Every structure is written in C-alpha cells, then in structure tokens.
Amino acid sequence: EAGEGVKFTAQVKNTGNRDGAEVVQVYVRKVGDTEGPLKSLRGFRRVDLKAGESRTVSIELSPDAFEFFDTSTNTMRVVPGEYEIMYGNSSDTPEANKLTVVLR
C-alpha cells in the first residue's frame, strides 16, 4: 500500500579467496515517469564477509523511498503505481537484479 515501507532482502556471497566487504545498493524508479530520474539510490548496507561466506542482507525502504515529484500537485509524494526496485554493488545494476512492486 502507498504510505507503507518495503523490506528488501538479498543474499550476498564473497566468492573470492580473501576476506572483504561489499556495499549492497538499492535503487527505486517510478515506472513510466519520463521526467524523473532513471533511478534513485534509496538504501544501502555495507557487509563484511569472510572468504566464501554468504549472508542475507535486509534493507528497510521507508515510505519516503517511493516519493517522487508529482507534476500534477507540484509536490514530492508517493504516487500509486508501478515501481522498480534494483539492487547490486553499483548503480550499473544487471537487468536480472530488478523486481517490480505496485503501490495502491
């Protein structure tokens, strides 16, 4: 529902031979918004991982993560509709790392 947050969860794995860290980034885009940004960084979490370790990472997207400029009201607000959530370790997220949510 519009006005409610979303809990995003992803599995992260260190496939290397050394301990390291990764930053999971979550982007949101309003589908069909031709005047808005292609994607907006709305959440991130740094994760330290030992070599070969996997971990589940959760990032809470608050309701304002879905706020975009609404030209009909000249305000920032959550407009019901379709949104894409993209995730990865950079803004160049693969197409496979995308899911769609519909806010009503």
pLDDT digits (tens, 9 = 90+) for 33-60: 988 899 999 999 999 999 999 999 999 9
Residue 74: Cβ-neighbour burial (10 angstroms; 0-12, 13-18, 19+): exposed
Confidence of residue 71 (pLDDT cuts 50, 70, 90): confident
15 pLDDT band, cuts 50/70/90, is very high
Place of tokens 């809990």: 7
Structural domain spans, the chain: 6-103
Contact of 98 with 21, CB cutoff 8 Å: no
Residues 69-95 have a mean pLDDT of: 90
Record the pTM.
Answer: 0.88
Residue 65 backbone phi and psi in degrees, to 5: -65, -20
Which CATH superfamily does the domain covering 6-103 fall into? Immunoglobulins (2.60.40.10)
